[in-house]
Amino acid sequence: MDSGDVKSAEGFFRSAAEQGEPTAQYNLGALGLSSQIMMGYEEEVEWLTRAAQAGMEPAYQILMQLNSQGSQ
């Protein structure tokens, strides 16, 4: 994915995420966490948390992994 594609995807995901779409929230948080888009850690975790609360299992798994890394 080139930077133009990522920027387009970010806009699409952000718009949908702000409207409460869990898959978009997950994708936005995951793109930030993988440094494909510029976003602070707190915002990344916030999007993943919202997705997990809406039942997105992959978001929950990432949060659990981050939590276990932080407690070591």
The pLDDT tens digits of the residues spanning 37-64 come to 999 999 999 999 999 999 999 999 999 9
Query: What's the rounded Cα separation, in Å, for the pair 47 and 7?
Result: 17
Residue 59 amino acid letter: A
Query: What's the rounded Cα separation, in Å, for the pair 47 and 27?
Result: 9
Q: How confident is the model at residue 65 (pLDDT cuts 50, 70, 90)?
A: very high
What is the DSSP-derived secondary structure letter of residue 39?
Answer: -
- pLDDT for 39 equals 94
pTM recorded for the entire structure: 0.88
Let me know: does 35 contact 27? Beta carbons within 8 Å: no
